[in-house]
């Protein structure tokens, strides 16, 4: 697969916004990400009719999403629709050059994170009283968790196992939805620890785009994206690294 032929696919919906302030910040970042990243790759946005009204001059596919209970529900619905050259990317990722990938693995992810990090530990401890938590393995001896800001399955068996397991954990969680903490609580457990469990149990191979020396990008992961950030300066620094 030629890296230059990759198409970046964003999945984005207003339904995932906690409030209007965060939505307008997110849509602003999405538009800027599209502007920057389309210099290097074709881009596409999979969205719903309501959100599509905010987007112009970009390839859009309309999808009638099911109800969202967790942040990565949208990715689970989009994954089976991706074409061979498509790769999922989050709206808060900005490239400074063509995204290089390693195709000789089972899955491509953004970067490694670790189950011992505070934000995982807090979610894990809060989850323990719920039934869905019993389906997830929080074993700290297998510490590494892949961030799914960039994600491409090259092994379709792995993709199916992930979707099926995610769906099982979600359905179990929804049996107690009246007592679950508010959206988007526990999203990272389903989306990222669920994937970690499948990979660990089957010894699938991972390539992290952040660890490929030619790659040049930044990811405003988590709540950082909603802070006051000088995006133009950050993008300018990306470009300077190429001089």
Query: What tokens does 178 get?
Result: 């009246």
- In sequence order, the β-bridge partners of residue 219 are 93
Please choose, from the candidates 117, 129, 96, 131, the residue with its C-alpha nearest in 3D space to the C-alpha of residue 209. Answer: 96
Say if 233 falls within a structural domain: no
Please choose, from the candidates 161, 10, 166, the residue with its C-alpha nearest in 3D space to the C-alpha of residue 86. Answer: 10
Q: What is the DSSP string of 181-221?
A: PSTTTTHHIIIIIHHHHHHHHHT--EEEGGGSTT--EEE--
Say if 192 falls within a structural domain: yes
Number of domains present in the structure of the chain: 1
Provide the whole-model pTM: 0.93
Using a pLDDT cut of 70, give the percent of the chain over it.
Answer: 95
Q: Are 85 and 5 in contact (CB under 8 A)?
A: yes
Say if 239 falls within a structural domain: no
Say if 62 falls within a structural domain: yes
What is the per-residue pLDDT across 115-142, written as a single tens digit (0 to 9) for each?
Answer: 999 999 999 999 999 999 999 999 888 8
Above 50 in pLDDT, residue 243? no
What is the per-residue pLDDT across 178-218, written as a single tens digit (0 to 9) for each?
Answer: 999 999 999 999 999 999 999 999 999 999 999 999 999 99
Q: Are 208 and 106 in contact (CB under 8 A)?
A: no
CATH code, domain with 95: 3.90.550
Say if 240 falls within a structural domain: no
Q: Are 134 and 197 in contact (CB under 8 A)?
A: no
Say if 236 falls within a structural domain: no
Q: Which range of residues forms the domain containing residue 137? A: 3-228
Radius of gyration of the chain (CA): 18
Q: In terms of pLDDT, which residue wins out, 205 or 3?
A: 205
Say if 237 falls within a structural domain: no
- The DSSP bridge pattern shows strands 86-89 and 150-153 to be antiparallel
Say if 164 falls within a structural domain: yes
């Amino acid at each position: 697969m030629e890296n230059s032929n990759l198409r970046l696919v964003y999945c984005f919906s207003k339904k995932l916004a906690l409030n209007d302030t965060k939505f307008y910040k997110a849509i602003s970042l999405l538009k800027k990400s599209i502007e920057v990243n389309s210099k290097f790759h074709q881009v596409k946005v999979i969205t719903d009719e309501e959100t599509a009204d905010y987007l112009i001059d970009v390839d859009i596919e309309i999808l009638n999403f099911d109800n969202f209970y967790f942040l990565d529900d949208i990715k689970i619905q989009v994954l089976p629709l991706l074409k061979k050259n498509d790769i999922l990317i989050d709206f808060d990722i900005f490239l400074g050059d063509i995204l290089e990938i390693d195709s000789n693995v089972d899955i491509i992810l953004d970067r490694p994170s670790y189950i011992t990090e505070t934000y995982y530990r807090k979610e894990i401890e809060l989850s323990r009283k719920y039934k869905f938590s019993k389906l997830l393995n929080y074993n700290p001896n297998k510490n590494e968790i892949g961030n799914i800001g960039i994600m491409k399955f090259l092994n379709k068996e792995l993709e199916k196992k992930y979707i099926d397991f995610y769906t099982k954990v979600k359905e179990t969680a929804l049996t107690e939805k009246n007592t679950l903490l508010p959206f988007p609580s526990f999203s990272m457990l389903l989306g990222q620890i669920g994937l970690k469990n499948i990979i660990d149990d089957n010894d699938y191979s991972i390539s992290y785009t952040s660890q490929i020396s030619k790659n040049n990008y930044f990811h405003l992961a988590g709540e950082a994206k909603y802070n006051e950030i000088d995006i133009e300066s950050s993008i300018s620094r990306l470009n300077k690294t190429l001089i």
